[in-house]
């Protein structure tokens, strides 16, 4: 089964945009293995837009840009596979890609066969230049069927930015993960706006098909294709990654992992947070406390396998806050004699058994605290 848990990997767009090439992709594959990202669970190396020539071949096939990829895509795929990783590429449901390269509209079956022949394992499928008279559901269904008919198992990642409420139909047309917002940028406002817009849709995610809030911006610090000013702070990157994990979102790194600082590298490989994201039950988080808007604090509980839980506090204020929730809100009334035993999911520190009804903690501005918990007696 593809996408039994949220897919994990790396995508070229956030850092390199149209300036992607063979050398970068091979170096990323090397880095995935050498620096432990593969061991942490990341498996896909995905080339985004701008990899092809601007025209198809005489027989209508896509052609990799020979200046960017002189040895061709089959060579790149084989190299990625030789590292024990999987290889992904990009196309678009419209007449052209977002970067103005040939789209797959009307060429779905031919392009799917091309991708299969090259050894592609993952296809990101965008929505630019789609005909106004076209039907989005049919477009994604057509490519889904084309991929299945290609003879190769290919994970299908849809990217239509929320057009036509995709959370209601992407699973039924055979998609494995789907974008339902605009592009992310390297700023707190960008990822927090995405968080707010998707709170009601996480329940649509389940094994086989996951809501995708876009690639990760961890470690970019304002650099690259989606950089804004100096980017996010370490505290904000931690909140960004933690929320994606609590939501059970695909974890597609977008930074230049060849040159990550130690904080970002450690965060991206945090096995306690990744385990929350990859939990086999794939349940969405449940909001136990919030104010009306993102600019205030939120507390979420996520049910995990084996009677365990993840509990996350997010602070949208510009100053440190001290949010709290009662165990009663979490379905554990005080009179039951049952409580929870907490461990900090970011640091690994064992906090201990909570012997009162309320639990609270200090949360830095724009930051988070995340805990795992299991039942205990008072």
For 313-372, write each residue's pLDDT tens digit.
999 999 999 888 888 888 988 889 999 999 999 999 999 998 888 888 999 999 999 999
Which residue has 């790194």 as its token pair? 253
How far is 92 from 96, CA to CA, in rounded Å? 7
Residue 140's alpha-carbon distances to 135, 136, 264, in angstroms, are: 9, 6, 35
Q: Which two tokens stand for residue 125?
A: 């499928």
For 118-173, write each residue's pLDDT tens digit.
999 999 999 999 999 999 999 999 999 999 999 999 999 999 999 889 999 999 99
Quick one: average pLDDT of 50-76?
A: 98
Helix axes 188-198, 234-247, angle to 10 degrees: 20
Cα–Cα nearest to 126, from 77, 195, 178, 87: 178
Quick one: average pLDDT of 98-110?
A: 98
Residue 291's pLDDT is what? 52
Asked which of 6-20, 82-96, 312-326 is least confident by mean pLDDT, the reply is: 312-326
Burial of 241 (0-12, 13-18, 19+ CB in 10 A): buried
For 249-293, write each residue's pLDDT tens digit.
999 999 999 999 999 999 999 999 999 999 999 999 998 865 544
Cα–Cα nearest to 299, from 317, 319, 285, 280: 285
Domains of the chain, each with CATH number or no CATH: 8-277 (3.20.20.70), 286-377 (2.60.40.1180)
Residue pair 351/342 in contact (Cβ under 8 Å)? The answer is yes
Q: Which two tokens stand for residue 199?
A: 């709170």
Helix (H, G, I), strand (E, B) or coil at 116: helix
Quick one: average pLDDT of 176-190?
A: 96
Whether the predicted model's global pTM rises above the 0.95 cut: yes
Q: Which of 126, 212, 277, 279 is catalytic?
A: 126
How far is 112 from 91, CA to CA, in rounded Å? 10
Rounded (10°) CA dihedral 178, 184, 188, 189 = -90
Residue 297's pLDDT is what? 77
How far is 73 from 51, CA to CA, in rounded Å? 10
Helix (H, G, I), strand (E, B) or coil at 277: helix
How far is 220 from 17, CA to CA, in rounded Å? 13
Residue pair 246/207 in contact (Cβ under 8 Å)? The answer is no
Q: Which of 30, 65, 78, 183 is catalytic?
A: 183
Sign of CA dihedral 184, 190, 192, 196: negative
Residue pair 207/4 in contact (Cβ under 8 Å)? The answer is yes
- Average of per-residue pLDDT values in the chain: 95
- Cα angle, residue 67 at apex, residues 61 and 72 outer, rounded to 5°: 50
Say whether 234 is catalytic.
no
Say whether 126 is catalytic.
yes
Q: Which two tokens stand for residue 240?
A: 């960004």
E strands, the chain, in order: 8-11, 44-46, 86-92, 122-126, 155-159, 177-179, 210-212, 251-253, 286-290, 298-304, 308-314, 324-326, 338-344, 350-353, 358-360, 368-377
Residue percentage of the chain with pLDDT more than 90: 85
Written as one string, the DSSP assignment of 138-199 is HHHHHHHHHHHHTTS--EEEEE-TTTT-GGGTTGGGT-SEEE-S----BSHHHHHHHHHHHT
| pLDDT tops 70 at residue 294 | no
Cα-only R_g, the chain = 21
Residue 292's pLDDT is what? 43
| pLDDT tops 90 at residue 196 | no
């Amino acid at each position: 089964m593809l996408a039994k848990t949220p897919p994990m990997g790396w995508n070229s767009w956030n850092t390199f945009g149209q300036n992607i090439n063979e050398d970068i992709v091979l170096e990323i594959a090397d880095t995935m293995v050498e620096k432990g990202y593969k061991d942490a669970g990341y498996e896909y190396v995905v080339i985004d837009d701008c990899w092809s020539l601007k025209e198809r071949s005489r027989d209508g096939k896509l052609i990799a840009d020979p200046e960017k990829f002189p040895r061709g895509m089959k060579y790149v795929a084989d190299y990625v596979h030789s590292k024990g990783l999987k290889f992904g590429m990009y196309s678009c449901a419209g007449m052209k890609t977002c970067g103005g390269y040939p789209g797959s509209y009307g060429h779905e079956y031919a392009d799917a066969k091309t991708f299969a022949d090259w050894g592609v394992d993952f296809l990101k499928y965008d929505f630019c230049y789609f005909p106004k008279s076209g039907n989005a559901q049919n477009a994604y269904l057509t490519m889904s069927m084309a991929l299945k008919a290609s003879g190769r198992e290919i994970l299908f990642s849809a990217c239509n930015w929320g057009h036509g409420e995709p959370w209601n139909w992407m699973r039924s047309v055979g998609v494995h993960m789907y974008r339902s917002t605009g592009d992310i940028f390297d700023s707190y406002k960008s990822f927090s706006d995405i968080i707010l817009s998707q709170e009601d849709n996480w329940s649509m995610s389940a094994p086989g098909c996951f809501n995708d809030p876009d690639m990760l911006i961890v470690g970019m610090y304002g650099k690259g294709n989606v950089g804004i000013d100096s980017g996010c702070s370490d505290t904000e990157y931690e909140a960004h990654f933690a929320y994606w994990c609590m939501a059970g979102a695909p974890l597609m790194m977008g930074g230049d992992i060849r040159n990550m600082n130690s904080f970002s590298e450690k965060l991206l490989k945090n096995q306690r947070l990744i385990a929350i994201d990859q939990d086999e039950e794939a349940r969405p988080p449940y909001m136990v406390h919030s104010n009306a808007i993102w600019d205030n604090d939120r507390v979420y509980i996520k049910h995990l396998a084996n009677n365990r839980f993840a509990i996350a506090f997010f602070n949208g204020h510009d100053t440190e806050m001290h949010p709290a929730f009662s165990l009663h809100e979490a379905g554990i009334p005080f009179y039951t004699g049952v409580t929870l035993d907490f461990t900090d999911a970011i640091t690994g520190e064992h906090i201990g058994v909570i012997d009162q009804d309320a639990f609270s903690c200090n949360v830095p501005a724009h930051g988070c605290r995340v805990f795992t918990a299991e039942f205990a007696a008072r």
